[in-house]
Amino acid sequence: MNRIFILAFVLFAMLFAVNAAPLELVKRETKFSPCPGLPPDVVGLDVKMTPDPFVPGQEETFDIKGTLKKDVVAGDLLGLGFIDLVAQAPIGIPLVVDICTIPGVTCPIKAGTAFSTTQKYTAPKDLPQSYVILVAMQHGTPPNVEALACSAAIFGPSDSSAVPDFWSFL
| pLDDT of res. 169 | 54
Q: Where are the domains of the chain?
A: 28-169
For residue 76, which of 104, 105, 98 has the smallest C-alpha distance?
A: 98
How far is Cα 67 from Cα 85, in angstroms, rounded to an integer?
Answer: 28
Q: How many CB atoms lie within 10 A of CB 62?
A: 21
Percentage of the chain exceeding pLDDT 90: 39
Judged against a pLDDT cut of 90, whether residue 9 lies above it is answered with: no
| pLDDT of res. 25 | 54
Residue that wins the pLDDT comparison between 160 and 157:
157
> How buried is residue 46: exposed, middle or buried, by Cβ count under 10 Å (0-12/13-18/19+)?
middle
Asked: is 28-169 a CATH 3.40.50.11540 domain? The reply is no
At position 8, the amino acid (one-letter code) is A
| pLDDT of res. 105 | 87
Asked if residues 97 and 138 have their Cβ atoms less than 8 Å apart, the reply is: no
- Encode pLDDT of 28-44 as tens digits: 788 999 988 878 888 99
Pairs from 24-28 (Cβ < 8 Å, separation ≥ 24): 27/52, 28/53
Residue that wins the pLDDT comparison between 70 and 27:
70
Percentage of the chain exceeding pLDDT 70: 76
Judged against a pLDDT cut of 50, whether residue 160 lies above it is answered with: no
- The mean pLDDT value of the chain amounts to 81
- pTM of the predicted protein model: 0.76
Judged against a pLDDT cut of 90, whether residue 23 lies above it is answered with: no
For residue 35, which of 166, 168, 170, 169 has the smallest C-alpha distance?
A: 166
- Encode pLDDT of 95-137 as tens digits: 999 999 998 888 899 999 998 999 999 988 888 988 999 999 9
CA angle centred on 27, ends 83 and 84, rounded to 5°:
10
